[in-house]
Structure 1
Amino acid sequence: MPFTAYMLHLFHPKDSLTLIKRREGKNWIHAVLILLFVVIVRVFSVLFSSYLFSSNKDDINLLLEIALMLIPIISFSITCYAVTSILSGEVKFKDLFTAFCFSLIPYVILTIPITALTWILSLESGGLYTGLNIIKWAWVIILGFQSVKQMNDYEFSKTVGVILLSVLAMLLLWITLFLIALFCVQWIQFFQSIFNEFRMLASR
């Protein structure tokens, strides 16, 4: 896919989504590349934002910051595909995931200049910083919405319903995985306590 397709998605998503769908899952490398840039830009933003517009840098956990970016993208792609499969969707998972990754291009492009602005703006100008971030994420959401709508040939109202169901399914997925992880930790601790008891008895 040519570089112009990335820029095309910003202002003419219908054309780029048609191109993604026509290529039938051959855009994985581009999706992974965009995700890589998302991670790099996120790390850059966390590390280099002005102290006026960031939390205590001593408490920064980069792995957590990366996870907070990637987990919602991947899990929403999974649940959205599951919902569209049930509700007569036409898109394949690879294409939907690629489209969602392309929807993150505004984040990649705008985050670096917004981060640079934090060193120029004062706290009194914080409204501009907040406004630019709202525009950035609104652009991402609009492109994501358009991806679901066009690639499944849905009406506007059905697209809204599918996205709401996908968000609900994503939250349920997170809760389920959290409970499974908690259950596994409890079992591991239980077996560790039994093992320690046997070891103490054997050492007497």
Structure 2
Amino acid sequence: MNRELIKYPFYIIMHPFNGFWDLKYDRTQRNNVIISFVILFLLIITNILSSEYSGFIVNIMNPDDMNSLMEIAYVVVPVLFWCVANWSLTTLMNGEGRFVDIFTSTCFALVPLIVINFPWIWLSKVISLQETAFYYFFSSFAVFWSLFLLFVGNMTIHQYSPSKTIGMILLTVVAMGFIAFICLLFFSLTQQMVSFVNVVYKELALRR
């Protein structure tokens, strides 16, 4: 991975309109997908380290109770749900973005969450109670910056107007909730079926 590829995510977050346009029509799509997975991996690492090593003043979690698999799920599942929901809706509403475009633009939009939050994992250990306002300010700024990049990326890859993009984002969030409900219902039914089969097996085994 050359230096230009490493600089590319930083170019996009500083020049989102030109950056996402280049991302959509870049012929080296394979490199963009690789970078997207790297960004997702770094966000997972940042999320785990934040839960484990953030200063006790700002860390609401008990590090002893942290589950790394859940921390991974907190990153991967929303990204996956967003991409699936957005692709499903935009396919029906004349969106020009492919699934790979949605995935790459979404991952690139998450870069501020890494760039800003990672240093604050270690800075949170040395700040005082009065200085926690800076921590929360920069954390909020990272979220709003990523949301703005997500908006610009969605608007660019689908060639939507700003108002249609806002409407599509709201519909995508609703669709994500619907997908989550279907998944929970599926897992619940699966668990009940497994329990039923287990009970039947035990009953048959006891009758022998």
Band the TM-score falls in, shorter-chain normalisation: over 0.9
Determine the structure 1 residue equivalent to 2:56: 51
Give the paired residue count: 202
Please say if 1:115 is aligned against 2:118: no
Q: Secondary structure at the match of 2:125?
A: coil
Aligned-residue RMSD, C-alpha: 1.3
Q: Work out which of the residue numbers 25, 32, 37 in structure 2 matches 1:32.
A: 37
Runs of 4+ residues over 3 Å off in structure 1: none
Determine the structure 1 residue equivalent to 2:94: 88
Determine the structure 2 residue equivalent to 1:23: 26
User: Deviations 1:90-147 (Å, cap 9, x if unpaired)?
Assistant: 0111011001000111111111111122112122322221111100100110000101
Q: Secondary structure at the match of 1:52?
A: coil
Determine the structure 2 residue equivalent to 1:70: 76
Q: AA paired with 1:42? A: N
What is the TM-score normalised by the length of structure 2?
A: 0.93
* 190-199 vs 36-45, which moves further: 36-45
Question: Tell me, which stretches of 5 or more residues in structure 1 are unaligned?
Answer: none
Q: Work out which of the residue numbers 99, 108, 111 in structure 2 matches 1:102.
A: 108
Q: Work out which of the residue numbers 178, 197, 200 in structure 2 matches 1:191.
A: 197
User: Deviations 1:143-191 (Å, cap 9, x if unpaired)?
Assistant: 0010111111111110010000000000000001100110110011001
Q: Work out which of the residue numbers 131, 138, 146 in structure 2 matches 1:140.
A: 146
Q: Work out which of the residue numbers 14, 30, 33 in structure 2 matches 1:11.
A: 14
> Distance in 1 between the 2:113 and 2:133 partners?
19
Q: Is the 8 A contact 1:8 1:15 kept in 2?
A: no
